[in-house]
Amino acid sequence: MRGSAYVPVSAAVALLVSSSTLFFTFTCPWLAQHVSLSLPSCVGILFLFVMANFTMATLMDAGVFPRANEDEDKDDDFRAPLYKNVEVRGVQTTQMLPLQRL
């Protein structure tokens, strides 16, 4: 990874950790006293999961998604028409075709 790629990651980590620190410092004691003593521990576990997922997403290689060929793109079954035009008493309307089962 280039040096410039660390700037957004560092900013996101700093924002996440600083806002969580402020929450645990000022809000969690009040929540533990007035709401429930188990609430800060649940939020702490959730914070650990968020940090673990953020770390995994930062360090994991996304890989390369190859582009589809022209022939492969044209053979897509999802492009089949779902509607057809029907004439009812001289008025052109659109009728939805039934879905086919595989």
d(CA 48, CA 77): 43
Distance (Å) of CA 93 to CA 3, 74, 98: 60, 28, 16
pLDDT in tens, 5-51: 789 889 999 999 999 999 999 999 999 999 999 999 999 999 999 99
Token digits of residue 73: 């793109």
pLDDT in tens, 74-97: 655 555 566 777 788 888 877 776
- pTM for this structure? 0.57
Residue 97: per-residue pLDDT: 66
Nearest to 28 by CA among 17, 42, 16: 42
Coil vs helix vs strand at 93: strand
Residue 99: per-residue pLDDT: 59
Residue 68 reports pLDDT greater than 90: no
Residue whose token pair is 């188990």? 38
